[in-house]
Structure 1
């Protein structure tokens, strides 16, 4: 069975991660859709970094929910499987979806990359190490020094330019390499099943990919408590949260 799964913010929201457009998405009374832009970073990089560091912290303490775990089980049971997620967190990976079976089309929040050159680094482990040192009794003045250092806007060690979070901001192009991975999967043949969960499908490419993947007559299952732009194209509508619906759907598929 060839399976394409598309997920959005609604899947991770059930792990306590606020959605951009949800009522809990605002930060310091600021609209996140106005912070996640190149213009906001150019205007106040420190403010943008403060927000992303807080988001990273929230993600680190979050745990994959039943939806993440169900998708991981499905990925492990299917030879031809691709997950395309709009989420920049690492919950799908922590649930067990292998990197070769997943595309983070909006980037990875734990990547820090240069705003000028090609340098980038994975910051997840580095930040864990800082937290562990604080937990295990580092002296107060050392912790304060580390915290002050952490709050600085990072500079690229290669060219000296400002570093930025490795995510796609509003108004930016999707990453070319990740787009190509999706295209390669779609060109590889029609899917037997398409699952779209936790996304409003506001961006047209979600609908386009779902329809292209199902061109051979595959079922499109939409999992979302509310109607979305994709709903009229779906062959099966499941009006439940992903953490409730996906375990049941996956159990049916692998039974």
Structure 2
């Protein structure tokens, strides 16, 4: 006799085969499976700081050197990690849907760029990307994948030492106006960019199947997307190692690691990976 999980997976696959606009929301859980720390909760400290101490306009104004060391550390850490089977399965499913003339879009709360590296094209990075920078003066936004991002940050960012501050003139600069740049990331106390919210709203309107992966469902506005779609009777599948506020409204809850469950849900063969 088939297990209840096997039955649920089969039911979900039938829904997936009839869907025309799949929308996926991913959170920290999917990246945690690639070994990327969340800097939240117990043990989520860099030096003596929480992420909430550093990822703010106030912290950057007070010490751009300290904040850039933190982000340099995170950038270099992410370089050592790889997209896992969940990231890869999502990218493969996108290609399959595209060939069938259907929509498959991913919204991520993560800033690590692993979805891009896995090959996902239809991607909305709602909180930004560690490898994008924004000028504090002219607001120019560009990708910067350099390692280190500037020479003064070479061999800096260790969580175990507190070196002298780097002079602001030696921190990352804008390629257009040479002013100081900041990470192109939505910091605590900031609003998500209007153009990003417009793209998300469009996908929510078109969505006929919603998949929520590895998100706590407590950070808004993303935490509200499942409720909006549930009111329209859109099927929702949640994949998480924990229960969340979205669990009670999900059509299906798959308890376990995304890297194990997502390839099964999306009928993706990763044997050649």
TM-score, length-normalised on structure 1? 0.83
The one of 199, 206, 214 equivalent to 2:222 is: 206
Whether 1:36 aligns to 2:55 is yes
- Distance 1:205-1:146 versus aligned 2 partners, 3 A rule: closer
* Mapped contact 2:237–2:251 kept (Cα < 8 A): yes
The correspondence of residues 52-131 of structure 1 with structure 2, limited to 5 A, is 52-78=71-97, 79-98=102-121, 101-124=122-145, 126-127=146-147
- Distance 1:153-1:129 versus aligned 2 partners, 3 A rule: closer
Shift of the alpha carbon at 1:117?
1.8
* Mapped contact 1:193–1:214 kept (Cα < 8 A): no
Distance 2:220 2:72 in 1: 30
1:50-93 deviation digits (Å, cap 9, x = unpaired): 01001000111110001101111221122212110000111111
Alignment partner, residue 134 of structure 1: none
Distance 2:261 2:35 in 1: 18
Alignment partner, residue 139 of structure 1: none
Distance 2:152 2:188 in 1: 34
Structure 1 residues without counterparts, runs of 5 or longer? 131-143
Structure 2 residues without counterparts, runs of 5 or longer? 1-18, 158-165, 269-273
- Distance 1:46-1:237 versus aligned 2 partners, 3 A rule: same
Secondary structure at the aligned position of 2:147 is classed as helix
Distance 1:77 1:230 in 2: 28
1:98-151 deviation digits (Å, cap 9, x = unpaired): 1xx110000011011112322122111x32799xxxxxxxxxxxxx88838996
Alignment size in residue pairs: 235
Whether 1:175 aligns to 2:227 is no
Distance 2:242 2:156 in 1: 43
1:199-221 deviation digits (Å, cap 9, x = unpaired): 10112322332233455422211
The one of 184, 205, 220 equivalent to 2:202 is: 184
- Structure that is richer in helix per residue: 1
TM-score, length-normalised on structure 2? 0.78
Secondary structure at the aligned position of 1:109 is classed as strand
The correspondence of residues 230-249 of structure 1 with structure 2, limited to 5 A, is 230-249=246-265
Alignment partner, residue 138 of structure 1: none
- Distance 1:129-1:27 versus aligned 2 partners, 3 A rule: closer
Alignment partner, residue 67 of structure 2: 48
The one of 18, 22, 30 equivalent to 1:11 is: 30
Distance 2:177 2:149 in 1: 26
Secondary structure at the aligned position of 2:34 is classed as coil
